[in-house]
Structure 1
Amino acid sequence: MVLGGAGLALLTAVTAVVLAVPRLNRAAPADPVEAEAVATMRALAGQVAEAPAARYTGTLRPAGRSPFTIDARVTAAGTALAELRVDGQVAEAADFGDRTFVKGGQSFWHWAGIHDDRKHEFTHDRWVLVPPEFLGFDLGDGLGAGGAMAGHRAADPVVGDPGTLGGIGVRPVGAGGFVYQISIAAPARLVRVVTVASRADGDLLELAPAVLAGPDRQRFFTELRTAASEAATAADVSGLFEFEGETEFKLCGTETCMVLMKVVNKAPLTGRHVAAQAPAGGVVEVGVVIEGRNVRTCTDHVSLKPGESTVIRCFAVYEAAGGRFVEAESDVSGQALAPDQAGRLRADLAAELERYA
């Protein structure tokens, strides 16, 4: 779960955070002290990478964006929850494989550039499916087992000169595009991981890693399950669904009636974070009502690109005396995931967490 990209196109305000990016120019270790530092780095970073869950707190700056503070919890497979703070705004993010959801209040979405009618569906207690570029940094890939801790498997680590970090004596060990600050005093611990200045992708981070265990890990897993369940009703940042035109009634008599209603995705193509070529999900309910009695309700999940439309048909079979009035009741709102997609997301998470039991 992370903010950045077009979303941290979002992050345009300059914040007073400076990332300390070390430069390492020394050769591979030759003496026993440096060799021990490398071995310690491999062991400590490996513990975090291979743990079922880890926590990262600190500062992150996606390439070309302003930095933000992050408190992220991530499974070894890269499923993540994070709290993000930037420019006085607070948001939550959830990363479930190829889907990223963000949750924030009205002020956050306004700050993020959502000024059109989509903002009315984006409330502080509702997840919103966002495109990958909204964040600018992939939480799962960046902080999972193959991310910031991957240096423990890298060849030819480089050991730097000892220094201090927050009053703690540390020795830096560079490997795999990261610098691992290892405490000098026993017991050795991994104090911080920082990106090296020469990283090609331009992402910079300065994070304190820790293994999540015991009650903290179980609490994280419980919150992941809750977020996965809540994702079933998540809105879609590229969706603004409305009914358009007149309601049509066909084949209406004393026994049957078909109601037809046109639904359109009116998300503005020029709107912030709108993915013009990506279909957004919505849920539509149409009810057939005779003299105040609901005789049929049809629920459909639609998937429409901005500007696209579809016709919802609801066919009712009933018994009614002649001369009765037939009416239609309707409701439409964004719902990013179809029921089967939401079910698979929960099932995939359950299978992942079962592996850590």
Structure 2
Amino acid sequence: MIRRGLGTLLVTVLLCAGCTGDEPSPNGPAPAPKLVAADAVAQSIVDLRSAGAVRYNGSLTAPAGDNVTMQVTVTKAGEATGELSVNGLPATVLVVDHTLYLKAGLDFWLKLSGVPDSTAPTVADHWVKAPGVLLGVDIERIFDTETLPGLFGKPLANQTPDAVKRTKVAGQDVLEVPTDAGVLYLGVNPPYGLVRFDLTKSGKTDPTKVRDLAFSVSDATSDMAALYRDLAAKTAELETAYDPFTGVKQGTHKFQNCGVSSCAIVVELTNVGKQAVRVAVKATWTGGGNVIGSCESRVGPLQPSQAGSATCTLSSPQWTQFYRRAQSVPGQHPYGAEWTAMALITPPDPTGLRTLASSAETPVANPQGNQHVYVIRDDAGKDDKQIWKYGVATGPDWRKIPDEQLKFCTAGCVVDEVAATGDPASAHALARQLVDAYRGRVGQCPPAQWVGCSPK
């Protein structure tokens, strides 16, 4: 059955290559039913949870009272990339392997609570591993589409969409649905879809105990190839990322091999953390009261409690000039170095993200895979008029996801598996091909399609 479904998928895509949709098919689609507000919210939540990736743009108040704005795209697996600001100070954000990384300027780190002023100049403009409690916001947990809808609350009135108040969000007509936790804004027509949520509060424990969440929402599933390329590129930059919250004890130091061409400082170090770490030493040198250069050095990995040393060598033209002057001009010629020693992260491997980017670009079916592409259709037939939506579900119990949606389809709908794949990027890409082919024939997406139906 799976192979037969895949054959249908590929033929459909090939037959519709170059379709423009200028002449809609007379065979579809059937109009989608209008639901009461509670069901429209429920269907929108199902679609949100089914998305491969979602964009969020808005603001919240962190537990410490900081105003945090975010423009982030978050995958179903929890990876995230984008930009944020804390009290107006910007940073680039990355979440990969369930770990938060930030890259920001000096002012950001100087103003962020929990970061010593002495650390800020070293980490400025570098990637930094940052515990969520430092930022006050756990991006992965807050925007987890499985748990986020639990914060939305229950609609206060069970009206039909025609009776619900209408307003505009960013120029888009929306339904304003009050809940006991805030306000949800849905598209005015089926399949509705969440456009924005305004909530008074979020989780119960730091760093999810945020409040005043106000975020616009849009599906990013169609852009998963570009998204995973971006995630992989940023992850590759983490080779030099700092981990300022893993302890490195500094011991004695000495200067050695100081001559006309260079001079070195040797710093004794001990890893006082619980995991093996590499350590970076960065030193700024002065001679005769002037800055004469800087050096960087790495050592390790050092095992927990292991001692070691790092040698940082200065070989700048300014050092050579200073040394020659000290040798030729009588008198005192003091020199020295100020340094920091900081743990480097063990960088994650970007290979898996690159593989997902390739899967999203050139999806390949795998009958033994655990990612299932399905179609929900009217049981009266399999042509365009009977197709209600396409989707992706995971695991051996994947049918539970589409089965939950049958109650929203009033035409006696059934679920068919179209194909299986080995990863979510490939599965969503196959589903997108189906949606695009349908849109090429009919001129619009299937009537209940939200995921993968972004405007062209």
Normalised TM-score (structure 1): 0.60
How far apart are the structure 2 equivalents of 1:279 and 1:120? 25
Matched length: 266
Instruction: State whether residues 43 and 191 of structure 2, in contact with CA within 8 Å, keep that contact through their aligned partners in structure 1.
Output: no
1:208 aligns to what SS in structure 2?
strand
**Shift in Å at residue 207 of structure 1?**
0.7
How far apart are the structure 2 equivalents of 1:310 and 1:181? 57
Q: Which position in structure 2 is the counterpart of 1:116?
A: 117
Instruction: State whether residues 118 and 240 of structure 1, in contact with CA within 8 Å, keep that contact through their aligned partners in structure 2.
Output: no
How far apart are the structure 1 equivalents of 2:269 and 2:92? 31
Q: Which position in structure 1 is the counterpart of 2:167?
A: 164
1:186-229 deviations in Å (ceiling 9; x for gaps):
77342211225697554221111111143x43222111101211
Instruction: State whether residues 254 and 267 of structure 2, in contact with CA within 8 Å, keep that contact through their aligned partners in structure 1.
Output: yes
List alignment gaps of at least 5 residues for structure 2. 1-32, 159-163, 257-265, 282-296, 312-338, 360-422, 427-456
**Shift in Å at residue 184 of structure 1?**
3.2
Instruction: State whether residues 196 and 214 of structure 2, in contact with CA within 8 Å, keep that contact through their aligned partners in structure 1.
Output: yes
**Shift in Å at residue 38 of structure 1?**
2.5
How far apart are the structure 1 equivalents of 2:69 and 2:195? 17
Q: Which position in structure 2 is the counterpart of 1:237?
A: 244
How far apart are the structure 2 equivalents of 1:280 and 1:112? 27
Residues 62 and 313 of structure 1, relative CA distance in 2, 3 Å threshold: closer
Could you tell me which of 195, 202, 214 is aligned with 2:199? Answer: 195
1:84 aligns to what SS in structure 2?
strand
Q: Which position in structure 2 is the counterpart of 1:311?
A: 308
Aligned residue type for 1:194: D
Q: Which position in structure 2 is the counterpart of 1:17?
A: none
1:188 aligns to what SS in structure 2?
coil
Residues 157 and 206 of structure 1, relative CA distance in 2, 3 Å threshold: same
List alignment gaps of at least 5 residues for structure 1. 1-32, 250-259, 266-275, 286-296, 315-330
**Shift in Å at residue 87 of structure 1?**
3.0
**Shift in Å at residue 310 of structure 1?**
1.5
1:107-146 deviations in Å (ceiling 9; x for gaps):
211122545332232132x210112211222111111222
RMSD: 4.1
Instruction: State whether residues 83 and 90 of structure 1, in contact with CA within 8 Å, keep that contact through their aligned partners in structure 2.
Output: yes
Aligned residue type for 2:342: G
How far apart are the structure 2 equivalents of 1:181 and 1:352? 32
Could you tell me which of 232, 235, 240 is aligned with 1:228? Answer: 235
Aligned residue type for 1:211: D
Residues 179 and 347 of structure 1, relative CA distance in 2, 3 Å threshold: farther
1:13-70 deviations in Å (ceiling 9; x for gaps):
xxxxxxxxxxxxxxxxxxxx99532232223332232211110001122234232211
How far apart are the structure 2 equivalents of 1:67 and 1:234? 26
How far apart are the structure 2 equivalents of 1:185 and 1:135? 38
**Identity across matched positions, percent:** 18
Q: Which position in structure 2 is the counterpart of 1:253?
A: none
Q: Does structure 1 residue 53 correspond to structure 2 residue 53? A: yes
How far apart are the structure 2 equivalents of 1:280 and 1:134? 22
Instruction: State whether residues 184 and 196 of structure 2, in contact with CA within 8 Å, keep that contact through their aligned partners in structure 1.
Output: yes
Q: Does structure 1 residue 88 correspond to structure 2 residue 94? A: no
Residues 172 and 109 of structure 1, relative CA distance in 2, 3 Å threshold: same
2:345 aligns to what SS in structure 1?
coil
Once the two structures are superposed, the pairs formed by residues 192-341 of structure 1 within 5 Å of their partners are: 192-196=196-200, 200=204, 202-204=209-211, 205-214=213-222, 216-238=223-245, 244-245=251-252, 262-264=268-270, 281-283=277-279, 299-302=299-302, 310-312=307-309, 334-338=342-346
1:291-350 deviations in Å (ceiling 9; x for gaps):
xxxxxx99521366xxx7723599xxxxxxxxxxxxxxxx98535323xxx25x435545
How far apart are the structure 1 equivalents of 2:310 and 2:87? 47
How far apart are the structure 2 equivalents of 1:174 and 1:59? 19
1:235 aligns to what SS in structure 2?
coil
Instruction: State whether residues 102 and 129 of structure 2, in contact with CA within 8 Å, keep that contact through their aligned partners in structure 1.
Output: yes
Aligned residue type for 1:225: A
Larger relative helix fraction = 2
Once the two structures are superposed, the pairs formed by residues 31-42 of structure 1 within 5 Å of their partners are: 35-42=35-42
Residues 174 and 97 of structure 1, relative CA distance in 2, 3 Å threshold: farther
